[in-house]
């Protein structure tokens, strides 16, 4: 049972108890609605909490330079690409130390490009131009990430973000594999992500136009073959099997934390019915969790996926650096309004999922109903 604070109510006389029940999935209804004015305020619409917070964040964005809005993140991605030439050269060394350094460098660069880069590109956060945004989405998601740009945007933006923690729509169930034992799912299965990703991309092409199918297959093949060709002609690999194994190791280097992050920050938190869902600010503050700062994951995954995930879901158009910049304002505002601002450590979430794997990853989740808010 949870209680909704008095100021969350949309009208007088609402109860503030939380009930749990099961529900069926339906299309979402409008997210942006205005609250009626409180008692004593005549013919004046009361500004919603989301509108007030949005105005504060927009003011910060307008006052920020291009370097803060996009430059820092673009520079990190550029640095990742600049790491690739020395990585290929180091992989040509017969010395185990230099070879290992090359493997590590390529794995880190690949992680930054395919996790941080694809995520920012899917949100159009790399450019203010919509045309360039589409170009970057195809480049990062299809060529670098070996996935369909259209399917990626549809699944992440139009489902996960629009229907965060709504059962049957954006409840993160896509990450569940209940047939796998917990140790296999949490620590071994993620290593197969580089193999599974292009196969899932092919499955998503069904029903699309021939031109779209051909483009996606060509872009994914270009990305995979480019790395394979460079490993043979620059790094000097002679065995196709050894080359493919090197590609797998580099691409799977951060697959385990990638799966962890995707489940830790949503699953186990309140889930909502599509027929009775709270307004956006309540939905995001209840259904999203921040992890603490981590020098490795912050750089490779980006702030919006790690320590600013709440901010990212409230304002998905912001870049990683801007999410970090508005974080103090958002956290202070939510705290002042007695709204949840959920944070937990990586290790704590891992322990929770390990000990409650059946409840969180196998069984259907209970639905949270915030009576008086929804």
Q: What is the pLDDT of residues 181-199, one digit of tens each?
A: 999 999 999 999 999 999 9
Of 65, 28, 293, nearest to 161 by C-alpha is 28
Q: Is 256 part of a structural domain of the chain?
A: yes
Q: Is 261 part of a structural domain of the chain?
A: yes
Contact assessment for residue 330 and residue 57, using Cβ atoms and an 8 Å cutoff: yes
SS3 assignment, position 290 = strand
pLDDT of residue 92 exceeding 80: yes
Range of the domain at 337: 64-362
Q: Is 18 part of a structural domain of the chain?
A: no
> What pLDDT, on a 0 to 100 scale, did the predictor assign at position 275?
87
Q: Is 368 part of a structural domain of the chain?
A: no
pLDDT band at 16 (very low <50, low <70, confident <90, very high): very low
Q: Is 253 part of a structural domain of the chain?
A: yes
pLDDT band at 26 (very low <50, low <70, confident <90, very high): very low
pLDDT tens per residue across span 112-157 = 999 999 999 999 999 999 999 999 999 999 999 999 999 999 999 9
Q: Is 313 part of a structural domain of the chain?
A: yes
Q: Is 10 part of a structural domain of the chain?
A: no
Q: Is 39 part of a structural domain of the chain?
A: no
SS3 assignment, position 100 = helix
Rounded Cα–Cα distance for residues 186 and 349 (Å): 12
Domain count, the chain: 1
> What pLDDT, on a 0 to 100 scale, did the predictor assign at position 235?
97
Phi/psi at 17 (5° precision): -100, 160
Q: How far separated are the first and last CA of the chain, in Å rounded?
A: 16
Rounded Cα–Cα distance for residues 251 and 229 (Å): 16
């Amino acid at each position: 049972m949870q209680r909704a604070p008095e100021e969350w109510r949309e009208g007088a006389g609402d109860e503030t108890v939380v009930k749990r029940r099961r529900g069926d999935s339906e299309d979402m209804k409008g997210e942006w609605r205005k609250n009626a004015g409180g008692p004593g305020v005549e013919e004046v619409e009361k500004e919603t909490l989301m509108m007030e917070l949005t105005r504060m964040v927009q003011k910060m964005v307008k006052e920020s330079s291009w370097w803060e809005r996009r430059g820092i993140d673009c520079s990190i991605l550029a640095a990742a690409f600049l790491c690739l030439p020395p990585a290929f050269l180091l992989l040509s060394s017969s010395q185990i130390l230099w070879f290992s350094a090359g493997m590590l460098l390529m794995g880190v660069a690949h992680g930054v490009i395919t996790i941080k880069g694809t995520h920012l590109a899917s949100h159009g956060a790399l450019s203010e131009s919509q045309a360039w945004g589409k170009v970057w989405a195809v480049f990062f998601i299809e060529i670098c990430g070996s996935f369909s740009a259209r399917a990626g945007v549809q699944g992440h933006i139009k489902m996960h973000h629009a229907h965060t923690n709504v059962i049957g729509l954006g409840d993160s169930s896509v990450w569940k594999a209940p047939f796998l034992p917990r140790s296999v799912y949490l620590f071994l299965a993620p290593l197969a992500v580089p193999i599974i990703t292009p196969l899932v991309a092919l499955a998503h092409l069904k029903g699309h136009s021939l031109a779209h199918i051909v483009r996606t297959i060509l872009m994914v093949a270009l990305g995979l073959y480019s790395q394979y060709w460079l490993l043979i002609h620059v790094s000097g690999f002679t065995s196709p099997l050894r080359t493919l194994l090197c590609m797998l190791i580099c691409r799977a280097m951060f697959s385990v934390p990638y799966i962890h992050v995707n489940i830790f920050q949503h699953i186990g938190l309140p889930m909502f019915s599509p027929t009775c869902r709270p307004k956006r600010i309540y939905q995001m503050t209840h259904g999203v969790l921040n992890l603490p700062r981590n020098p490795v994951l912050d750089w490779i995954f980006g702030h919006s996926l790690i320590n600013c995930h709440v901010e990212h879901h409230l304002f998905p158009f912001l870049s990683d650096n801007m999410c970090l910049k508005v974080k103090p304002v958002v956290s202070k505002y939510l705290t002042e309004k007695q709204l949840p601002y959920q944070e937990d450590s990586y290790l704590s979430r891992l322990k929770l999922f390990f000990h409650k794997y059946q409840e969180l990853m196998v069984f259907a989740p209970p639905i949270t109903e915030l009576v008086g808010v929804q």
